Amino acid sequence: MNESERLIKRLPNDIGGLPGPTIIQTDQPLEPWEKRCHALADVLDFRKILNTEEKRCGVEALGSEIISHLSYYERWIVAFSNILLRKQILTPTEIALKMAAVEARWTAGA
């Protein structure tokens, strides 16, 4: 089976049963932004804006290349962003302008 066949036959999340290395029993506490990201996910679910299965699919839709480079909550927030754009709840311009404003706040305060 060549590399492209492997990508087609197994979506990025579908790893059950594959061989793997020894389990590393690490357990890090969440960063403050990671905890906010988790709370955001729960609130979006309560508000019927984005449910758990949409979140999982949104992460999978990032594709194996992006998934391999992002940490757990980095995948979540990028997936939320993509889903909110697709649902036309947010626009790319709104996110870009708000990101610039957030950064400017920090630069001004630093």
Partner 1 sequence: MANREHDHPHDTEAHGGSEIPGYYDMLETAITELLIEKGLIEAQEIRRQIEVLDSRTPALGGKVVARAWVDAEFRARLLANGRAACEEFGVTFYDETLLIVLENTATVHNLIVCTLCSCYPRPVLGLPPDWYKASPYRARAVSEPRKVLAEFGTIIPDDVEIRVSDSTAAVRFLVLPRRPSGTEHYTEEQLAALVTRDAMIGVIPVSTPTMRASQ
Q: Given the rule CB under 8 A, which residues bind partner 1?
A: 12-28, 30-33, 35-40, 42-47, 49, 51-53, 56, 59, 64, 67-74, 77-78, 80-81, 84, 89-90, 94-95, 98-99, 101-103, 106-107, 110
Closest approach, Cβ 38 to partner 1, in A, equals 6
**CA atoms of 73 and 53, how far apart (whole Å):** 16
- Contact by Cβ (8 Å): 52, 44: no
**CA atoms of 13 and 29, how far apart (whole Å):** 24
Closest approach, Cβ 85 to partner 1, in A, equals 10
**CA atoms of 104 and 107, how far apart (whole Å):** 5
End-to-end CA distance of the chain: 53
Closest approach, Cβ 77 to partner 1, in A, equals 5
- Contact by Cβ (8 Å): 55, 41: yes
Closest approach, Cβ 3 to partner 1, in A, equals 12
